[in-house]
Structure 1
Amino acid sequence: MSDTANRIFAGGCLCGQLRYEAKGEPAWTGHCYCRDCRKASGSGFIPFMGFQASALTVTGETRQSRTSAFRGGESVRNHCAACGSLVFGGEGQDDWRTVYAGSLDDALLFEPQIAIFVRDRAPWAVAPEGLTQFETMPD
Structure 2
Amino acid sequence: MRDEVGKRFTGGCLCGALRYEAVGEPSMSGHCYCPDCRRASGSGFSPFMVFACDALTITGESRQFQTRSFRGTDAVRNSCPTCGSLVFGGEYGKDDAHTIYAGSLDDPRVFKPTIALFTRDRPDWAALPEGLTLFETMPE
- Settle same-fold status: TM greater than 0.5: yes
Instruction: Work out the CA distance in 2 between the residues paired with 1:77 and 1:70.
Output: 15
Q: Deviations over 1:65-85 (max 9, x none)?
A: 110110011100000111110
Instruction: Work out the CA distance in 2 between the residues paired with 1:53 and 1:109.
Output: 20
Q: Which runs of 5+ in 1 are unaligned?
A: none
| Pairing 1:97-136 to 2, within 5 Å after superposition | 97-136=98-137
Which residue of 1 is the match for residue 15 of structure 2? 15
Instruction: Work out the CA distance in 1 between the residues paired with 2:15 and 2:90.
Output: 22
Q: TM-score, normalised by structure 1?
A: 0.94
**More deviation, 43-52/93-102:** 93-102
Which residue of 1 is the match for residue 77 of structure 2? 77
Paired amino acid for 2:15: C
The offset of 1:94, in angstroms, is 2.6
Instruction: Work out the CA distance in 2 between the residues paired with 1:61 and 1:98.
Output: 17
The offset of 1:91, in angstroms, is 1.5
Aligned with 2:113: secondary structure?
Answer: coil
Give percent identity, aligned residues only: 65
Q: Deviations over 1:53-111 (max 9, x none)?
A: 11110001100011011001110000011111000001256301000000000011000
| Paired residues, number | 136
Q: Deviations over 1:8-42 (max 9, x none)?
A: 00000000100000000000100000000000011
Q: Which runs of 5+ in 2 are unaligned?
A: none
- Runs of 4+ in structure 1 deviating by more than 3 angstroms, as ranges, are none
Q: TM-score, normalised by structure 2?
A: 0.94
